[in-house]
Amino acid sequence: MTPIRLDKHLAALLGCSRGDARQYIEGGWVRVDGETVDAPQHPIDGQQVVLAPDARLGEVAPATLLLHKPAGIDSEAAIALATPASRSGLDMLDQAVLRRHFHRLAAPMPLDAEASGLLVLTQDHRARRRLTEDTAHLEQEYIVEVEGTLPPYALAQLSRGGLDDNGWPLPPCKVSRQSEQRLRFAIKQVRPGQLQRMCAQVGLRAVGIKRLRIGRIGLAKMDVGTWRYLPPGERF
């Protein structure tokens, strides 16, 4: 038997058009021998092909992934860490992993290469716009590991605003002490290298930076290098 394309086989099986068959396949509604296949050109040679009973036609919604970026890699390079195999086991969303979810991802609110933590990767123009145009209004939460002795005035100086970052006046933010060598920042519109420079202005050296939250969306307890889907309806 000569193999045929999955979309052609499904169209014949369902009595639908090739276009509808492609939409079913690309939407993750088709299983071949029990495995979800989202490539219309997948060859079929006698395998069992089943359409999900709740399948529906429609364009596949753009995906937004929340990645736990490791330190030592820039945000553009970190996009390559998002693969079907690196999905976090903590992701409880009932969403099939589709190959198209990893196409044309952007990181609109990047992290410094030396920083780790929450990195948003998205195909959705609405999420991209929110994380770029509204960055001045989105609070981000960071844990910063520091070296040095914390002066008694340091937390107030960091929090109240008035510090200067390369000629750019910094607005007030919220800074608290988590331990002797750990500070928590809740801050908006963070520039590259800003947290390191803020710490340096009060005599501290930032040796580790981790982003825990952007707006209402948190990192959760995912392992480094893994990701989860942003659930539909959740907003930054």
Q: In this structure, what CATH number is given to the domain that contains residue 199? A: 3.30.70.1560
**The pTM of the whole model exceeds 0.95:** no
CA 235/CA 111 separation, integer angstroms: 20
Tell me how crowded residue 186 is: count the other CB atoms within 10 A of its CB: 15
Amino acid in the structure at residue 35: E
Which residue's entry shows tokens 């492609």? 22
CATH code at 9?
3.10.290.10
Asked if 101 contacts 91 with a C-beta cutoff of 8 angstroms, the reply is no
Residue 206 pairs in a beta bridge with 146
Q: Tell whether 143 and 204 lie within a shared domain.
A: yes
Q: Tell whether 130 and 145 lie within a shared domain.
A: no
CA 132/CA 110 separation, integer angstroms: 10
- DSSP helix, strand, coil percent of the chain (3-state; round to 5): 25, 30, 45
Q: Tell whether 180 and 148 lie within a shared domain.
A: yes
Q: Tell whether 112 and 224 lie within a shared domain.
A: yes
Q: Residue 81's pLDDT is what?
A: 98
CA 173/CA 81 separation, integer angstroms: 32
In a domain? residue 126: yes
Helices 18-26, 6-14: axis angle to 10 degrees equals: 110
Residue 157 structural domain: 139-214
How many domains does the chain contain in total?
3
Q: Tell whether 44 and 101 lie within a shared domain.
A: no
Q: Residue 90's pLDDT is what?
A: 95
* Ordered per-residue pLDDT tens for the chain, 236 residues: 689 999 999 999 999 999 998 989 888 889 999 888 888 999 999 899 999 898 888 877 899 999 999 999 999 999 999 999 999 999 999 888 998 899 999 999 999 999 999 999 999 999 999 999 988 899 999 999 999 998 888 899 899 866 777 777 888 899 999 998 999 999 998 999 999 999 999 999 999 999 999 999 999 999 999 999 999 889 99
CA 57/CA 35 separation, integer angstroms: 20
Q: Tell whether 130 and 221 lie within a shared domain.
A: yes
In a domain? residue 57: no
Using the 8-state DSSP alphabet, how is residue 66 labeled? E
CA 24/CA 16 separation, integer angstroms: 11
Q: Residue 162's pLDDT is what?
A: 63
